[in-house]
A and B are shown apart, each in its own frame.
Chain A
Amino acid sequence: MALDKTEGEAGGGHKGAPFALAFGGGGIGSPFLRGLWRYTPIFLLALLWEGATRLGLVSHLTLPPLDRVFAAWWGLFSSGDLIRNAAVSLSRTAAGLALAVLCGTLLGVFMASSKWVRTTFDPLVQAIYPMPKSALIPILVLWLGFGSASKIVLIFLGCMLPVTLSAFNGARGTEEVLVWSGRSLGASKARVLLEIVLPSALPEILSGIRIALAFAFVLLVASELIAARAGLGYMIGWLGDGGVYDAMFAVVLTVALLGFAADRAFLLLMRRFLRWRG
């Protein structure tokens, strides 16, 4: 009996790369080394960056050398500016995303299970889904001010619909026999929704949240760039206006790294939640 099947497809797109296959097949190196190996193209890009700027191929005003960016990063880090603003940004992202996950999941599952809810909300979802949420930034700032509230609401609005749609599709895809089994084992309709429809929609809900997570960072930086008094996006705008390009690049790289780390962490969480899928 195959008690230990291989991991699912969640691993990402690099699996088919021939060099990765060759490396993995040879059985050399720890998983950590193999992990590093996968990101070789990024190291190459960094080398190219450093080389091009050192050799004077690119003006330092356009692209500061990487080592200066690192030095600026260290400066921002040790002064506490980076951490303070990152904390503001991350708490905004977390709050907006958490609200979106909660409301989106509830709405999606209820839309799937009740015709009444579906007919009420479907036109709204259809209309709002394709709208670029960044267009709302000035309005939200007008209503809620320059502080965190406008950012949290924007992230909430932008992230809720992908979660809603995935929860809706996941819940609709629940196998009828699972619902019937639950009912004939004595579960009430409400219990079936909570204990059977929700977990069986979980894989789709989690992929929806992963998409929402990426949206969250986009909306965070956009809104902080346009109108804010704190946050990483605010720092990028402020440093850029002041012409401190090496520091600006340092913050941009930090945002990229945070987004990447959040996605990886979420993937790990997702695999943990979906261990039951052999």
Chain B
Amino acid sequence: MAAAIKTRSIEAFGGGERGQAGAAPERTEIAIRGVGHTYRPARGRPVKALETISLEVKEREFVALLGPSGCGKSTLLYLIGGFLPVEEGKILIDGQPVAGPGPDRGIVFQHFALFPWKTVLKNVVYGLEKKGVAREERVRRAREFIDLVGLSGFEDSYPSQLSGGMKQRAAIARTLAIDPAILLMDEPFGSLDAQTRSLMQSELLRIWQRSRKTVVFVTHDVQEAVYLAERIVVMSARPGRVKEILSVGLDRNDPGLLRSRPFAEMVDHVWSLVRSEAIRAERGGGT
């Protein structure tokens, strides 16, 4: 269970096409312009979830969307993923407007969303199959990613036989295996116990530092956001707006980071921004 991410060559992450050149000029990968979203439930009044969100995410950047529950941060992620239609404003991926989901944007959900009738191996193989990877090659690659997330030996287990942390590892392997340029994460560690969560956080960081995907990470956990993200987008209570965008700029390879003073100060600062919104959300939102 505690098997850490193994030290592996870059090739294991399938980074082929995108390469690893750290010095490349920063390109805007995701451009969100004036996006709003209104939920229209079958019964009851429509709910305005998001209002005029504008945000740009650079290639290979790790951005956290932080806010109280119900602030629409997951909605924004689903809009980027193409799972919900963009009805107000525009979302461009590499300059192209989003038109439905696609394998260029991999997603990891809070409750794993593994296919329960497939074994771990077959879950991971699924996306590779859709990509048209040859049979032997996709099994080989799937095993590589299962190994990467420390699930070797559980290839033939069904999700119902795994713990929460193991399920999330499998889900991450499934998403990484198709080598998406963008990784969308919807409170991926939110349903894990504290120990597993902190373990998974550091493993995600290591994976990201190797594969350098663009990551949009939704969370309501301030510590998690400060620890993982390069930039934090603090969102207001419903209807969600961008309240503030902060650059973190901490050295995440410092093993003492979590106990360091700059880290604590950053967490305090971000928490002060989120706190008032959390209170507003608790009292039933803004409108």
Residues of A near any B CB (own CB < 8 A): 1-3, 5, 175, 177-178, 180-187, 191, 195-196, 199-200, 202, 275-278
Query: What residues of chain A lie closer than 8 Å to B102, measured between beta carbons?
Result: 183-184, 186
Quick check: A180 and B101 within 8 Å, CB to CB?
A: yes
Quick check: A184 and B126 within 8 Å, CB to CB?
A: no
B9 CB, min distance to chain A CBs, angstroms: 25
Quick check: A180 and B130 within 8 Å, CB to CB?
A: no
Measured CB to CB, the nearest residue on chain B to A275 is B158
Measured CB to CB, the nearest residue on chain A to B132 is A186
Partner of B101, one of A183, A196, A200, A275: A183
- A178-B113, A202-B117, A277-B116 in contact; A184/B81 too (CB < 8 A)? yes
Which of B18-26, B159-167, B205-213 is found at the contact surface with chain A? B159-167
Which 5 residue pairs are nearest across A and B when measured between Cβ atoms?
A278-B160, A186-B130, A185-B127, A183-B101, A177-B113
Q: Is B275 an interface residue (CB 8 A)?
A: no
Which of B87-95, B103-111, B189-197, B236-244 is found at the contact surface with chain A? B103-111
Quick check: A278 and B111 within 8 Å, CB to CB?
A: no
Which label, helix, strand, loop or mixed, suits the secondary structure of the B interface?
loop
Partner of B106, one of A2, A5, A184, A199: A184
Partner of B113, one of A175, A191, A277: A175
Q: What separation, in Å, do the CA atoms of A153 and B126 have in the docked complex?
A: 39
Contact-residue size bin, chain B (C-beta under 8 Å from the other chain): 20 to 34
Q: What separation, in Å, do the CA atoms of A177 and B86 have in the docked complex?
A: 18
Q: Is B247 an interface residue (CB 8 A)?
A: no
Residues of B near any A CB (own CB < 8 A): 78, 81-83, 100-103, 105-107, 109, 111, 113, 115-118, 126-127, 130-131, 157-163, 166, 174-175, 178
- 26 CB-based A-B contacts, threshold 8 Å: A1-B162, A2-B161, A3-B161, A5-B160, A5-B161, A180-B78, A181-B109, A181-B174, A182-B115, A183-B83, A184-B81, A184-B105, A184-B106, A185-B127, A185-B178, A186-B102, A186-B103, A186-B130, A187-B126, A199-B115, A199-B117, A202-B117, A275-B158, A276-B159, A277-B116, A278-B160
Partner of A185, one of B103, B157, B163: B103
